[in-house]
Amino acid sequence: MRVRRDFPLPIKVKLSLLITTLVALAVLLVGFSLLSRQERALTDAVTKRGKTIAANLAAAGKSALATNDDLALNIFVKEAMHDEDVAYVVFTDEKGIVHAHSDVTAIGRPVVRPPALKPASQQALVQTYKRGDAEIIDISVPLTFSKTPVGMLYVGFSTRAISTAVDKARNQAFLITAFMVVLGLAGAVALATLLARPIFRLMDATDAVAQGDFNVSVPVTTRDELGVLTESFNRMARSLREKEMIKRAFTRYVAREVVEEVLKDPEHAMLTGGRSDGRLRSADRASRSCRTRGEDGARHARGRRRPRQAASRHRAGAVRGRDRRQPR
């Protein structure tokens, strides 16, 4: 009979929570790692594409800038702005005056650059900065015509598409994580139940032993630490059962308290003297006395039977003698 126990947090719940937490952490770590890699890959792809577009604009616009062909420059700007990822395109001369811009109101004025960006140099430069909620990849390319600097080209690319793709992938990752957590929780409950079942059997068997029932045996279903523990419990139950059988046999002839002291420490009871030894010797003497009285009684009974047997033989002989003397 199982004794009802109310645990604040049963072992099955602990195992389920632990396994579910580990599964959730593993899925989240893998998901965030994949998202981070995807974001870097998309950013690198946009940057590479931006460099290609900037190189094509620079090759087409340097001759128009050298000849002050602002109409051709604005046509190049308008065509480039058809790309959804292009945030702005600016052509300036060597003095920084705008000749073509995606914002026509800035044409003819000195170029205004975000303060977070480094000044342009004679080498192509790629930088990023925040504009509102979006991140802008700024590419500046120096324009040279016949080895003579004629101006600068600034092309900005928005990462809004990257953010949209990453957000979509993040939402999918959350859904996958939630599904994996639910699946992991179900598997964790099943695994925890399987692992806790031998422990529950040991609890029931321990309760039975505590109530005096030593005829219990727990089946060994695993070959791990729980299996070793179960085998040890079965050996303990067998030992207690054997001691109980010995106690019951002894109590028929020896005082119960003497039996209990002997069973507590058999070696000490046999090797040391004391009250228990006196009881044992008294019990032994009593048993020998009973045995001696029994043997004396048996000899006395045999002695009493012998005269009767002799008298019976004498009477039988006398009867046979009379029969022979009578005439026929």
Question: What pLDDT is attached to residue 76?
Answer: 92
Going through the chain in order, the beta strands assigned E by DSSP cover 86-93, 98-101, 125-131, 134-145, 148-158
Segments of 146-234 assigned E as strands:
148-158
Range scoring the smallest mean pLDDT among 60-69, 150-159, 216-225: 216-225
Q: Nearest CA to 246 among 214, 278, 286?
A: 214
Strand order of the β-sheet with 125-131 is 98-101, 86-93, 148-158, 134-145, 125-131
**What single-letter amino acid sits at 31?**
G
pLDDT, tens only, 116-139 = 888 878 888 999 988 877 789 999
pLDDT at 276: 45
Q: Which domains does the chain have, with CATH numbers?
A: 11-174 (3.30.450.20)
Q: CA 293 from chain center: how many Å?
A: 74
Between 278 and 114, name the one with better pLDDT: 114
pTM score: 0.53
Average pLDDT value for the chain = 77
| CA-based nearest residue to 74, from 97, 54, 102, 109 | 102
**Distance from C-alpha of 165 to C-alpha of 160, rounded to nearest angstrom:** 9
Query: According to the model, what pLDDT value does residue 264 have?
Result: 64
Residue 220 · residue 230 · CB < 8 Å? yes
pLDDT tens digits, one per residue of 30-82 = 888 888 888 888 888 888 888 999 999 999 898 898 888 999 999 999 999 99
CA distance 106 to 112: 9
pLDDT grade, residue 172 (50/70/90)? confident
Q: Which two tokens stand for residue 228?
A: 């070793």
User: How many separate helices (H) and strands (E) can be counted in the chain?
Assistant: 7, 5
Each residue's pLDDT tens digit, 185-217? 888 788 778 877 888 888 888 888 888 888 888
Report the distance separating Cα 60 and Cα 25, nearest Å: 52
3-state class (DSSP) for residue 37: helix
Amino acid (one-letter) located at 165: A
pLDDT of residue 107: 92
**Which pLDDT belongs to residue 154?**
94
Which residues fall within 8 angstroms of residue 27, CB to CB, at 6 or more apart? Answer: 176, 177, 180, 181
Q: What is the pLDDT of residues 225-240, one digit of tens each?
A: 878 888 888 888 888 8
**Residue 286 scores a pLDDT above 50:** no
**Does residue 99 surpass a pLDDT of 90?**
yes
From residue 55, alpha-carbon distances to 51, 70, 117, 141 in Å are 6, 19, 20, 8
Q: What is the dihedral of CA 304, 309, 312, 318, to 10 degrees?
A: -120
Token pair in block for residue 96: 């920084």
User: In Å, how far from its chain's centre is CA 167?
Assistant: 31
